[in-house]
Structure formats: C-alpha cells, structure tokens
Structure 1
C-alpha cells in the first residue's frame, strides 16, 4: 500500500510533559513511522519537540495567545493546578477554536490541492471540544478522524464530598457542552471517531446509528519501550524473605483514593505483611502523613513526594503490586506503565483502568462507597499476600498483554488500519481492534484475530 499523507493536529504534544501532551506527542511520532505525517501543534511545544530530535520541517507550531489566557484564568479559579480539572477543560475548550482557525488559514490551500489524504485530530482528547475544521474538510472531501476521545465519566454515587473537595462544581453543568456551536456537525462530518472508553463510546453514539457505524473503541494510552525497557524482561518472582511491596502513583487529590488505600493497607503494614509506597504529591500529602503517624505506619510506608516521570520506573522496580483505588479515572496510563513493569494491578471497576485489565492480568474490584472500597482493597491485598505465585503470574500476564497491545508502535499500526478503512473502503477494522486476550498483536504491531 502507498504511504499515506496525513496532517496530524495535536494542540497538546510535548515529550517533556505527561498525560494529554505526552499522548499527543507519542502517538503522532509513532504514526510518523507508518505514514508521511506533518504535525500541527501549539507553539509552546516547539522547543521540546525540536530537542527530542524532530526536524522543523515535520511540524508547524501555531501561536494561540487565547489558550495562554485560558490557562491562567483556569488556574486562578482552580486555586492551582491540582483541583477542578473540569474548569481547566471548559476554559481551554472555549479558547481552542482559534487554534483551528489559524490552522485552516495556514493549510487550506494545501488541503484543497490534495497534498494530504486525510486529517487526524489527536488532541484535545475531550469529546466536548468541537472542530472548526470538520465542516471545512467535509466541503473539500478530505476525511477527518477524531480521537482518541475520552472524558466525562460520571462521579460515582456516594462521593459528593470528594467531588466538592475536588472543586468539581462545574461538572454539574457539563451536559451544556452539547449546546456549543459545532458539536453535532463535528461528529457527523467526521469520517471516523476513535473513542477511548466505554463511557465515551456510549455518550457519543447513544441514539445515533450513523455515528455507531463510524465509532471505534480504542484506549488512548500506550507505552514507549525505550522509556520502559523492563517491558521486554519477565518480572522476577516475589522475594521469599521480604513482605510484598505495593505501589501507588498519582496526584494526591481526593478522587485518586490514596487515603483509602492507606487505610485499607494499615493492618497489613503493621503486621509486616506488605510495605507501601505512595508516589506523588498534592493537597492530600499532609492528610496521608497524619494517617501514617496516627496508625504508627512509618516503618512500612514511604511518601517520597513528587517524582519525575522518567524516575517513576526506578521506584516501581521494587514493587510487585500496583494498587490504584481512583474513583473517577478516564484513561489510566499509569496502570499500563505499572503493568509494563510486571506489577499486578488492583483497580476499581469504574472508568478507564478496569477496561485495560483482562481476566488473569490483575484484580478488578467492584466499586461501592468509601467503606466498601477500603474493605474490598484490604481483602484483595490479603488474598494476594496468601498467594505470591498468583501475584507473579498475573504480573507476567499483564506485562505480556501490554507488550502485545499497548506499545505506541502497536497503536500506530492499529490506527493505520482505520486510515485505510476511511480512505480506501477496506474491511471494517473494528473486530480486530476490540482488544481482548483472544486478540494477539505481533511485535511489529500487526493484529491477528482469533475467532
């Protein structure tokens, strides 16, 4: 097949950052190895992209002062960068159309002249952000692919107090995004919608059969084997002479649940059955330290604070279990990173993380109220303590699953099949992209489907 010419739009794309910006950069560069790609991103990312070795001829940086103003206003209303994520998302969504308008002015003639086979907008990830380009591209018959899109997972029942602590008051008004100009036409004009969670899939396609035909479920996160070389090395069995080591990684904010994990693990730590390392920083750090002091857990708990992303794997090499009781997680990239290291994940059956863990690759715990979550995590840890061979086996299976399905190389190959489906009317790729243990992906990222 010919090498496709793709204009990739990723307003957030930065190798030095995490979360959305790292997804935008990593996926765009992985796709560059499979197609003739040109990246359009925001000017704030240019220095980091150049430093990473990307040639200036392969990307265009567009300045959007409105986005910088939106960042500052959102930060002021949030009281910093840790809480009130919906506020940040709302302000950046309002500022984003200026970026696409500038992109259109820069690339309109080239698009009209057929220099690109299709346009793929990777970021923003939010399904609430309309595209100014959707209508323009439809008129000149250039296919637009949107996604991965993810977000808007509802708050679970019984966590209103946590929601208020997170300053997520704007979330009560989230459905108003449907009234934004262009939301409906964006989805209907898109040639394909890559939807990264089951919730987003249902939200976008519900009641719209025409959208169902173009919607594909594919989680947004993946692993760079160069950042996580341990992915190719089978994890060692748990040591016989030491307690199992449990790790948590994340911002120390209420919905991540580090306090629930600490309370669940407390008796096991006191009995020297496990040790616990909570990696991260945020508003809850003082509260966690108080729990450690009150419960006399200092000998078995580490609170190293903020750790640079490239240093996280060094901490995880000492752990066998990754416990993550977040009650409202969209993607769960940190869970994939732990699985790549050969850790057994223990997560709640709510939001993105549970969708990343097939049978035999970890423990998925039913959600409940706070007390139920604490008790269920404690029970899960007790069961794992009693069966270290199962810990090792699940960690091994988790690592192999990520190795096969969730490297950026594999994801680029998966998305390339969507490209060809859109422009060449090739077979529907959806059966092969609905990842499960029955689907195996080779090291080069190609997919074979076992019926």
Structure 2
C-alpha cells in the first residue's frame, strides 16, 4: 500500500501545481458535492491546488475560508445548468427518483457547457505551463465526457480523472425496485460507451482513478493507466466518537440512508422481526424518504414500535452522535456505488453488516464486518436473519470486528490518506516508472 508519495531517495515528493476541477463540491451538502469538496480540499494540504467549481458552491467556499481567485474560481454556467436541472426534475417523475435521468442530462448537457467556460478562463494558463497536472475530481460518473482532456494532452499537461464510480448493474431479482426508482435509463446506460468523445477522452487521459472494480471494468483500453481508489473517505474530526461495544445483548443496530426501495429498510425489518419481537435486538432507522409511511405502517402492523425507532432526517453533522450508540450498521442496500455510510460506521467502531455487492462489498474485508451473499429479495432477507442470529448467539465477537473495522478506515480511508494515495498517482504520471500505483486493497485482494 502506498502511503506518502516519495521520490527515489525516499524524500517527500514535491508539491505539485494542480488545477482541480470539482464542478460539484460543497462542504455543506452531502453525497457527490461533499466528496468533491473533501478530495479537493484534502489535496490542498499536499499540493498547490486551485479548485474550479460551479457558481452554486461559491458562498459555501467563502464561508469555509477559501479565497476567491487565489484558492478557487467559481464558473457561472447557470444559463444551461438551471434549465437542465428543472427539466430533469420533471422527467424523473418523483422526488428522489430517476437519478439516472438527472445524471444523464447533467453530464451530457450542463457539464460540457461548464467545461467550455472553464477552458475559456484557464486554457491559456494551462497551455502556458502554469499547472503540472489537471485533475477532474467531479463529476464522479464515468458517463461524463471531458472536452478538455485532449486539449490538455496537446498542451503537454497530464490530465487525471477520478475517482469515477457509478452505473453498478441492478442485481437479478430486484426489477420491481428498479421500476419503483424510475430508473428507466439504466436499461440503456451502456450506450454511452459508444461515444467517440469518450474514446478521445480515454486516449488523452494520463491516469484514470476508478472508485470500484465495476467502474474499472468499463475502461479495458486503459488498464496500463488505471488504478482503484474508492471515492469516499472519512474526516476524523467529524467522526471522532467511538461505539461502546459491550459485547452483550440486546443487540443495538442502526440503518442509515434514504428510505428508498433499493436500500432495503423494509427487508431489514422483515429479517430482524423475530429478534425485535423477543427483545434481543433494537433498531434505529436514521433517514427519510418515500418509504417512511409504509415503514411506519409495517412497524405498527407487526407490533414492533417498542423495538424500532424512526428518527427521520438527520443532519450529517449529527449522524455520529446517533450512529455511535449502535453496535452494528445493518445495511441491506442492493445497489450502492460507493458505500460512504459503511465507512462512517467503521470509523465510529460500528460493525457493518452489508449485502455483498458493489461498493460496500469491496470496502468490508474479512474480519472487519459481516457480508451477506447477494441473491433474490427472499435470499437477502434470509441471509440477514441468519447473520443476526449468529451474532445474537455470540455478541462477544462483535468488539474485535469493530476494532478491525476502525483500523481499516484509519489505514486507508481518511481524506488525508486519500490525498496521499492520489499524490502517488501524480508522481507516477509525471515520472511513469513501473506500473501505476494501486494504493488501496479492496475486499477479495
């Protein structure tokens, strides 16, 4: 595992002049904008970074203490971005649904306009050699082509992309959930690979950072320039509490996430029903979404109100205070790209129990959590019930799992560690001796 980028004589690598493109980057939001912000700002501790972001993030950057013009530039692409977002809201057919539609419209229409304006502002500076590397951090989606990758290559400036993630196939047996999520475009998503613009971008990129094995598989023509670094990370200051982990019953579990079909909170309640009923397990459900009314009815109908608490929406800053009261994160999501919530639990010393698929399945290694085999809906429910039963029979095994989960996060998944891992890629790009670094061991490696 690569820790600190070094030169051949083992001295610390020099600070590089990096133009970081983070169209979505915001410390006050969650999901992709928080990832974009966290990676871009972590890189600033190791390199001379100028961040280019979209105008909607400007005020948050200023509130965070960054200096406009020196630390960052905000590109006003609202002339295209705003109407595209409004169109996506109409076409997605439901609040919080149809994310593939939103991503497609944003990456194919709004983002290219953002890049055109970016090149107008920075193209001459890139061509003049003002930056050692241009690194596109967001969009995270691998479907977003870059118009400036070839221009950077022509100027002799390395262009790095990633971490890229997304497009994990829906597992078999969950087509009903797919339809309920209004993911119609997911049926034809693979067509983006036929784009000539994508081929040009891949040829021009000096390095591609994939956030998952699935995304890595979408770049077979760039294997010599491809590395895996999951996009999610942890801020130790934000996740500083530690779960008590008494190794006793009742087993206190938590679900954290949007209450939508593919994340499976209803499957979790069904799997845990016998233990919730007999008092050997308590469950906190943290989050809100369209399934909230149905979950409330389900809990009432099964007579589980004494054992299940629906907390509703929780501010991200308050997540650790509630999650750290649990022994387990019980998270049966069947289509999770990155699995940031899994890392958040591990950082608190909370053991993840996950469906072994996509992002979470790669983050949880043997001894750091419990992986339930992916299968049909009935099989996932049965798998979680079996796993919970085993832990309830031997709760004293949980503290060791929690300690190992915490060590894994501290070793590989803090934002500072991620910046160092990316720095190793920078050094390889600028002096490509040997194969590209592969800094993060994923499950199965």
Interval of TM-score (by shorter of Structure 1 and Structure 2)? over 0.9
| Range that drifts further, 60-69 or 402-411 | 60-69
Q: Which residue of 1 aligns with 2:60?
A: 48
Change (3 A) 1:400 1:39: same
Matches within 5 A, 1:31-430: 31-56=43-68, 57-65=70-78, 66-94=80-108, 95-205=110-220, 208=221, 211-230=222-241, 235-238=243-246, 240=248, 242-430=249-437
Contact 1:420–1:426 at 8 Å: present in 2 too?
Answer: no
In 2, Cα distance between the equivalents of 1:36 and 1:340?
A: 29
Partner of 1:448: none
Structure 1 gaps of 5+ residues are 440-451
Conservation of the 8 A alpha-carbon contact between 1:246 and 1:277: yes
Q: Which residue of 2 aligns with 1:449?
A: none
Looking at structure 2, the residues matched to 430 and 278 of structure 1 have their Cα atoms a distance apart, in angstroms, of: 39
Structure 2 CA distance for aligned equivalents of residues 280 and 79 of structure 1: 21
CA offsets, 1:119-171, max 9 Å, x none?
A: 00000000111000011111111100000000111111111111111101111
> With CA pairs under 8 Å and 6+ residues apart, which has the higher RCO, 1 or 2?
2
Whole-angstrom distance in 1 between the partners of 2:228 and 2:362: 11
The CA distance in 2 between the partners of 1:203 and 1:220, in whole Å, is: 16
User: Which secondary structure does the structure 2 equivalent of 1:33 belong to?
Assistant: coil
- 1:86, 1:170 within 8 Å by CA — same for their partners in 2? yes
Gaps of 5+ in 2: 1-12
Could you tell me how far 1:428 is from its partner in structure 2?
3.4
* 1:19-34 aligned within 5 A: 19-34=31-46
CA RMSD of aligned residues (A): 1.5
Alignment partners' CA distance in 2, 1:258 and 1:171:
22
> Which runs of 4 or more aligned residues in structure 1 lie more than 6 Å from their structure 2 counterparts after TM superposition?
none
What is the CA–CA distance in structure 1 between the aligned matches of 2:291 and 2:136, rounded to whole Å? 35
Change (3 A) 1:172 1:192: same
**Change in CA separation of 1:215 and 1:305 when aligned onto 2, cut-off 3 Å:** same
Aligned pair count?
A: 430
